[in-house]
């Protein structure tokens, strides 16, 4: 009888020790969905991470735009510790003390007049948004339109909404009800809208697709089409929300008012929590029993979110993102090996000039700098919104040295 590995030559089994298993264990107990990690981090503070050998790394990725206040922010750590000793879970059959204030803050930052559903991840927030669109529109209007290059999650529905066919292929057939159009092409979007469509879901900046900002005119055009065709405009702000782009939400760079907004990543500064906000008249489509989650909005996660939002407002993180983003962008554009920098605030992609982005990212990791190759030719940077000017200077210095070494190898 063939072993599982022999039957499937593509099955990858990372070494158990590399995944943090006890010494001597050869079988890795963790599924190989990310591949074997090269580093184990054991501590973090602000913009810095420390591995188990004691080496420090300047984190310019923030756990994929999650730890926007930096690692182990004292106010969030204190809130989580205090709440863990009082109450962790009750189920959503009962009210708890932090969910209401967090929802009120999010509603205020989004302009008011809405209601919030709490979940645990960005994918779940987007699932909620798309279920809400179907319920709001009624039977027969079940199609959600998204763009090629988009990323909305890894569940079956959010994967179907994601406009990256290569990610669909291993799991085909995809669920019905999702249609994709070209990015930044209003005419193509308009041609895809028929009587079966309930909503358009769009990222104000395509994050996983390469950090491509949407022009304000494009977002305004989507709003106009949604108004004309009686569709919901859903803004996926999972990566862009809560100050990262230099506004509280990415869509606020344009003169548009979405019907539904999803967010996650930065909301708990590392504690898993997400939210789907909708205008009250849209949220009213949901009735008890239509949607639920066991862990969403639990006291521990909402305590973390409440502390995170309080620090964000006290520190004016959109303003800090504008300042640090301009400083970082200007410095990066001066480096040899950089052809351009795109994005907004502290969500940036550095397009390289003839260099291999995955190799450069690996060399930077060896040099103690954490970024990722968001495309084969571009690096993504999403550091803490509280990054200091000195840390920006140090990051730029290390990136410059690494790019120069890679440039010398190519030349």
The model's pLDDT over 174-210, given as tens digits with 9 standing for 90+, comes to: 999 999 999 999 999 999 999 999 999 999 999 999 9
Model confidence pTM above 0.85:
yes
Q: What is the pLDDT confidence band of residue 16, given thresholds at 50, 70 and 90?
A: low
Residue partners of 37: CB distance under 8 A and separation at least 6: 14, 18, 19
Q: Tell me the average pLDDT across 115-134.
A: 98
pLDDT of residue 24: 59
Q: Which residues make up each annotated binding site? A: 122-123, 151, 154, 236-239, 293-294
pLDDT in tens, 142-175: 999 999 999 999 999 999 999 999 999 999 999 9
CB count within 10 Å of CB 28 equals: 18
Provide the Cα torsion 303, 106, 150, 146; round to 10°.
130
Is residue 151 part of the annotated active site? The answer reads yes
The secondary structure of residue 46, as a DSSP letter, is: B
pLDDT of residue 10: 43
Query: Which of 53, 23, 58 lies closest to 38 in space, CA to CA?
Result: 53
What average pLDDT does the chain have? 94
Q: Under CATH, which number does the domain 74-315 receive?
A: 3.40.640.10
Query: Which of 119, 118, 188 lies closest to 149 in space, CA to CA?
Result: 188
Which one from 259, 265, 286, 363 is the annotated catalytic residue? Answer: 265
Joined tokens for residue 266 = 């930065």
Q: How far apart are CA 63 and CA 383, in angstroms?
A: 9
Q: Where in the chain is the domain with CATH 3.90.1150.10?
A: 38-67+316-410
Q: How far apart are CA 137 and CA 406, in angstroms?
A: 53
Distance from the Cα of residue 141 to its chain's centroid: 28
Q: Is the pLDDT of residue 23 over 70?
A: no
CB count within 10 Å of CB 90 equals: 11
**Percent of residues, the chain, with pLDDT higher than 70:** 94
Q: Which residues make up each annotated binding site for N(2)-acetyl-L-ornithine? A: 154, 293
Q: Where in the chain is the domain with CATH 3.40.640.10?
A: 74-315
* Residue 278 backbone phi and psi in degrees, to 5: -140, 150
Q: How far apart are CA 40 and CA 192, in angstroms?
A: 46
Cα 357 to Cα 133, 175, 243: the distances in Å are 38, 34, 27
Joined tokens for residue 182 = 């070209």
Which one from 59, 236, 259, 363 is the annotated catalytic residue? Answer: 236
Q: Is the pLDDT of residue 26 over 90?
A: no
Asked if 143 and 197 touch (Cβ cutoff 8 Å), the reply is: yes
Which one from 117, 151, 251, 286 is the annotated catalytic residue? Answer: 151
Instruction: Please measure the distance between the N-terminal and C-terminal CA atoms of the chain and give it in whole angstroms.
Output: 52
For the domain made up of 38-67+316-410, give the CATH fold: 3.90.1150
């Amino acid at each position: 009888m063939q072993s599982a590995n022999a039957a499937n030559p593509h099955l990858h089994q990372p070494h158990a020790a590399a995944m943090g298993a006890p010494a001597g264990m050869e079988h890795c107990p963790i599924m190989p969905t990310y591949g074997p990690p090269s580093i184990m981090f054991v501590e973090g503070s602000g913009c810095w991470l420390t591995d188990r050998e004691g080496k420090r790394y300047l984190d310019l990725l923030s756990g994929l735009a999650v730890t926007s206040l930096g690692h182990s922010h004292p106010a969030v750590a204190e809130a989580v510790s205090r709440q863990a000793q009082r109450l962790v879970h009750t189920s959503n059959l009962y009210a708890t003390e932090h969910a209401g204030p967090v929802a009120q803050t999010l509603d205020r930052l989004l302009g008011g007049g809405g209601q919030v559903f709490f979940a645990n991840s960005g994918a779940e927030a987007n699932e909620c948004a798309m279920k809400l669109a179907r319920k709001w529109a009624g039977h027969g209007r079940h199609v959600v339109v998204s763009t090629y290059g988009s990323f909305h999650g890894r569940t079956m529905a959010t994967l179907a909404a994601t406009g990256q066919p290569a990610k669909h292929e291993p799991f085909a057939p995809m669920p019905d009800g999702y249609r994709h159009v070209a990015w930044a092409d209003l005419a193509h979007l308009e041609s895809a809208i028929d009587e079966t469509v309930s909503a358009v879901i769009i990222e104000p900046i395509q994050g996983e697709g390469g950090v491509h900002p949407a022009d304000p005119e494009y977002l305004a055009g989507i709003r106009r089409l949604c108004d004309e065709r009686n569709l919901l405009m859903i803004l996926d702000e999972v990566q862009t929300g809560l100050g990262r782009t230099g506004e509280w939400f990415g869509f606020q760079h344009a003169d548009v008012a979405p019907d539904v907004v999803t967010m996650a990543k930065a909301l708990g500064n590392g504690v898993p929590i997400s939210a789907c906000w909708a205008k009250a008249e849209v949220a009213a489509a949901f009735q008890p029993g239509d949607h639920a989650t066991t862990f969403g909005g639990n006291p521990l996660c909402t305590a973390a979110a409440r502390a995170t939002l309080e620090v964000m407002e006290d520190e004016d993180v959109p303003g800090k993102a504008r300042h640090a983003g301009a400083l970082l962008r200007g410095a990066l554009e001066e480096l040899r090996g950089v052809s351009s920098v795109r994005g907004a605030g502290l969500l940036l992609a550095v397009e390289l000039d003839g260099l291999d982005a995955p190799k450069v990212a690996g060399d930077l990791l060896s040099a103690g700098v954490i970024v990722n190759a968001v495309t084969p030719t571009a690096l993504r940077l999403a550091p803490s919104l509280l990054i200091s000017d000195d840390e920006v200077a140090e990051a730029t210095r290390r990136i410059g040295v690494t790019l120069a070494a890679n440039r010398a190898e190519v030349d």
